Amino acid sequence: MALLETIHLKKTYTIGKNIQTDALRGVSLQIAEGEFLAIAGPSGSGKSSLLNLIGALDTPTAGTVLLDNQNISEINSQELAAFRLHHIGFIFQAYNLINTLTAVENVEYIMLLQGVNRRTRESKSEAILERVGLADYINRFPQEMSGGQQQRIAVARAMAAEPRVILADEPTANLDSKTAQDLLDLMAELNREKGVTFVFSTHDQLIMERAHRLITLKDGVITS
């Protein structure tokens, strides 16, 4: 059974009164638990749009998104926040972190919203920071870290909250290839060790090679 499923998912953006863009034109996709999946495709093909819908950041124009057979398109916007909090992890292209919080505070943030007690938060965040190789950076603020380090913190933050799926929209786009390679190694290992499902959108050849499955979008439809 699929962890995640999209059925005839459509997304149309309306700019102004009458300019409409069909970003997604019927995407049906199944993602199994533990997958390491990459979505590729040219710029403007709808990758980000798809991730946003899967992650309940946005609502579809038509079609449904199911997580564990629960239709998340039917959830209202207030409950969506709670849904994201407990089920979805996000890693964005850049500037992912809360600038006013230190590395460890960033990692603890979601757990804090989840109501995880302090002891657990501390031990988990320490362990995960150790795991991503940033044990020495726990009290740094985001501006005091490199882009690669920041992305690792973002991965750690997503991991620590134990979501069902981590959605990463071009996580390596702002990194040099060596750093990107390291980050990818990290995510691949976490996927293997903990069985966390990862879904990427990417232009990065590296990610496409490492992905267990590659989906290509073009003009809002899956072409392969």
Partner 1 sequence: MLTFIKIALRNIFRNTKRSLITISAIGFGLGALIFIWSFVEGAHKQMIQNYTSYLTSHVLIHQKGYHEKSTLETYLQSPGPLLSTLKQDPRIAATSPRVRADGLLSSSESSAGVLIYGVDPDQEKNVSRLSQRVKPGAFLKPDSDKDIVIGASLAKNLNVGLGDKVVIMSQALDGSIAAGAFHILGLLDTGVEEIDKGVVLLPLKATQSLFVMDDGISEIAVRLKTASQAKPIAHDLARNLPSAKLEILPWQDVSPMMEQWIEFDNAFIWIIVIVVMIVVAIGILNTVLMGVLERTREFGILLALGTNHKQIIAMVAWESLFLGLVGSLAGLIIGSSSSLYFSTAGIDLSLFTSAMNSFYMDAFIYPVLHPGYVAVSVILVLGTSMIVSIYPAWHAAHLKPVDAIRSI
Ligand X SMILES: Nc1ncnc2c1ncn2[C@@H]1O[C@H](COP(=O)(O)OP(=O)(O)OP(=O)(O)O)[C@@H](O)[C@H]1O
Tell me the window of 40-48, 95-103, 138-146, 156-164 that interacts with ligand X (CB under 6 A).
Answer: 40-48
Q: Under the rule (CB under 8 A), what is the footprint of partner 1?
A: 52, 55, 57-58, 78, 81-86, 88, 90, 92, 95-101, 105, 109-110, 112-114, 157
Tell me the window of 2-10, 12-20, 40-48, 117-125 that interacts with Mg ion (CB under 5 A).
Answer: 40-48
Say how far apart CA 201 and CA 161 lie, in whole Å: 21
Q: Please, what is the minimum distance in Å from the beta carbon of residue 42 to ligand X?
A: 7
Q: Are 223 and 29 in contact (CB under 8 A)?
A: no
Whose Cβ is closer to partner 1: residue 115's or residue 193's? 115
Of 67, 74, 70, which Cα lies nearest the Cα of 89? Answer: 67
Alpha helices, H only, the chain: 47-54, 77-87, 103-114, 118-131, 147-160, 177-194, 205-210
CA dihedral of residues 106, 203, 218, 43 (deg, nearest 10): 80
- Quick one: what does residue 76 bind among Mg ion, ligand X, partner 1, none, with the CB cut-off 5 to 8 Å set by partner type? none
Whose Cβ is closer to Mg ion: residue 48's or residue 172's? 48
Q: How many residues bind Mg ion (CB under 5 A)?
A: 1
Q: How many residues does the chain have?
A: 224
Tell me the window of 2-10, 38-46, 130-138, 182-190 that interacts with ligand X (CB under 6 A).
Answer: 38-46
Query: Would you list the DSSP string of 128-184?
Result: HHHHTT-GGGTT--GGGS-HHHHHHHHHHHHHHT--SEEEEESTTTTS-HHHHHHHH
Whose Cβ is closer to Mg ion: residue 150's or residue 202's? 202
Q: Name residues contacting ligand X, limited to 165-204 (CB under 6 A).
A: 201
Interface contacts to ligand X, rule CB under 6 A: 13, 15, 21, 23, 41, 43-49, 201
Interface contacts to Mg ion, rule CB under 5 A: 48
